[in-house]
Copies of this chain bind each other. A is one copy, B any other.
Amino acid sequence: MACAPAILRFHTRKPNIFMGRRSEHSRDELRTLIIDAALELIKEQGSGSVTARQIAKSIGYTPGMLYAVFKNQHDIFLHVNLCTLESLQQHCINSCRNQPDPAKRLLLLGKAYWSFASEHTHQFDLLFARHESQDAEIPPALPVRVQALFALVETALVELLSPSDKDPNKDQVALAARALWSGVHGATELGLSDLFFFSPENSKTDAPNAAQQSEQVIDTLIQQFVAGWLATNPIK
């Protein structure tokens, strides 16, 4: 292979990020362009009917380009989910930041979770949709954001037990927070699907709609859980 060295010499050139670009946008700009466009389309139509061609067209590109930036469609949606999770987190934090009473704060958090889900149904659906495992890695920021959500609940639960003392069983608190919030999440899911099926005879003349039912179920769940939490954990 006498010619190999001569050929390899050409490959030693340092690559440049801007080489050969045709558009105004850097790779990172393209990333956010794509994610924002996808998010917008999902808000309008739901993720199920958003196509690669739609996303590309809405930012003035060709579908093929998307695959130079993201691994596949599912990869794009994963990064949309990151945005959604961030919005959800902010919405929850804002809903209760001025409420010092931990029990009331939990109720506000529950209402916020439901209101976000019902006002951003398509985003919420995608966030918790369970596709069979695609070949795209979960962004590492996702677990962090979920934990941050749980932390809000954990704090409230700790405050409920000991407003002054600060030595709770962390394992127990983490478990309780996840149990309680699983409940709020489940009620939200069932509420969105309108799956409560209250017997008509049980309710009065004016049957509550799905949204009212959900809020009632969530409130009940939180109240009962808090009552149980206080009953089983004696105030130190």
Contact = CB atoms under 8 A, between A and B. Distances in A.
Contacts of A122: 132
Contact of A185 (B49, B180, B186, B223): B186
Contact of A176 (B175, B179, B220): B220
Interface SS of A by simple majority: helix
Bin the interface of chain A by size: 35 or more
A68 to B, nearest CB: 26
Given A48-B132, A176-B224, A182 B150 contact: no
Copy count, this protein chain: 2
Most B CB atoms within 10 A — which of A45, A171, A182? Answer: A182
Contacts of A223: 228, 232
A217 B131 contact: no
A18 B168 CA distance: 73
A149 to B, nearest CB: 9
A183 to B, nearest CB: 3
B217 A175 contact: yes
A146 B197 contact: yes
